[in-house]
Amino acid sequence: MKPIKFSIFGADGHTCQMPRIRDAMQNLGHILSEESPDLIFSNDPTGYPKAINLKKKFPKSYLILNFLDIPWHMPKVEQQTKLLVEHFLSKSDAITVISFKVKEDLSKFINKKIDVIYNPIKDVFFDENIKKDNAFLYVGRANDPIKRIKLLKEALLKTSNGVNEIIICGSENPGFGNYLNVVPDEKLNQLYNSSKYLFLPSRAEGLGLTMIEAMICGTLPIACSDNKTSKEFLPEDFICEPNPQSMFDKIEELNKEYKVKRNLALKYGKKYKIQFDKTSIVNNILKVFNSR
């Protein structure tokens, strides 16, 4: 494919997806430009207005709007989603979403083709030289009710000292464990590799990249059965019921066969390392662009 000019919009920061997508596009030889771009891509609604305005300026540009999720627990979410559809998504040339669960949700609001393109993982990798000297890890925002950090805390209270020893990384401090705030990617890779378990107690996730990144590094994720996205990517071995006792029981169960289950995680992780690589994700975006 010959180089194209592209514009990209959306949340741009260390914990966001946009920098990885932009870097992969440029690594493939494509040119970042807002002057008559061939492709305009917005990774989330924060970038939709700028993307739409650029499309108005250059009507021949191909506009792809990516949609992350519908937070059903939020007030007036249906009204807000309808507004996004009316003012932005209906005016795009193509719509992408980050999981089949999100595709199912968004299809209730718009009758238009929707392509599933996962968001890219961080550049994490399995390092067999790093010892598993940490039991528990949580990565992500902690204080959003949908994340159910209280469920995790109550499960860890049933362990010997897990509620104090768990390492927590992210922009929000839940008030227990060893809170490290947001950490650099190199440190995160070390934490994934050195931890036995990664928890994703959320009731819902658009994708849940931490469970993917954990398996790549040989760490066992534990997610809840009412999180439909977890079932899209995890074997039943790593899924518990959404209550503290079931989560504790899952830890005990996995401890008994840890080596076998770790090999299972690595098997999935090997596949996901390729599937969720930023270059693979960008190539999927370009497939949508080339299908125009």
pLDDT digits (tens, 9 = 90+) for 34-47: 999 999 999 999 99
Kindly report the pTM of this predicted structure: 0.90
Looking at the structure, tell me whether residues 13 and 104 fall in a common domain.
yes
pLDDT of residue 28: 97
pLDDT of residue 1: 84
159 part of a folded domain: yes
180 part of a folded domain: yes
Q: What is the C-alpha to C-alpha distance for residues 244 and 236, in angstroms, rounded to an integer?
A: 18
Looking at the structure, tell me whether residues 147 and 268 fall in a common domain.
yes
Q: Which residue has the higher pLDDT, 232 or 49?
A: 49
pLDDT of residue 292: 87
126 part of a folded domain: no
125 part of a folded domain: no
Q: What is the C-alpha to C-alpha distance for residues 253 and 243, in angstroms, rounded to an integer?
A: 15
100 part of a folded domain: yes
Strands, DSSP E only, in 12-84? 31-32, 39-42, 62-67
Cβ 204 vs Cβ 140: under 8 Å: no
- Banded pLDDT at 192 (limits 50, 70, 90): very high
What would the pLDDT profile of 195-231 be if each residue is shown by its tens digit?
Answer: 999 999 999 888 899 999 999 999 999 999 999 999 9
Looking at the structure, tell me whether residues 32 and 45 fall in a common domain.
yes
Looking at the structure, tell me whether residues 162 and 59 fall in a common domain.
no
Strands across the sheet containing 134-139: 178-181, 167-169, 134-139, 195-200, 220-224, 239-240
Looking at the structure, tell me whether residues 142 and 115 fall in a common domain.
no
Looking at the structure, tell me whether residues 61 and 141 fall in a common domain.
no
| pLDDT of 73 over the 90 cut | no
232 part of a folded domain: yes
pLDDT of residue 43: 96
The CATH number of residue 12's host domain is 3.40.50.2000
Looking at the structure, tell me whether residues 146 and 269 fall in a common domain.
yes
129 part of a folded domain: no
Looking at the structure, tell me whether residues 138 and 271 fall in a common domain.
yes
pLDDT of residue 268: 98
pLDDT of residue 206: 84
Cβ 217 vs Cβ 268: under 8 Å: no
Looking at the structure, tell me whether residues 94 and 23 fall in a common domain.
yes
What would the pLDDT profile of 145-170 be if each residue is shown by its tens digit?
Answer: 999 999 999 999 999 999 999 999 99
> Whose CA is closest to 121, among 31, 233, 287?
233
Specify the amino acid at residue 284: N
Looking at the structure, tell me whether residues 168 and 229 fall in a common domain.
yes
Mean per-residue pLDDT for 85-102?
A: 97
Looking at the structure, tell me whether residues 138 and 255 fall in a common domain.
yes
Domain extent at residue 65:
5-120+277-290
What would the pLDDT profile of 113-141 be if each residue is shown by its tens digit?
Answer: 999 999 999 999 999 999 999 999 999 99
Looking at the structure, tell me whether residues 138 and 238 fall in a common domain.
yes
Whose structure tokens read 């968001």? Answer: 119
Tally the domains of the chain: 2
Mean per-residue pLDDT for 163-191?
A: 96
41 part of a folded domain: yes
| pLDDT of 13 over the 90 cut | no
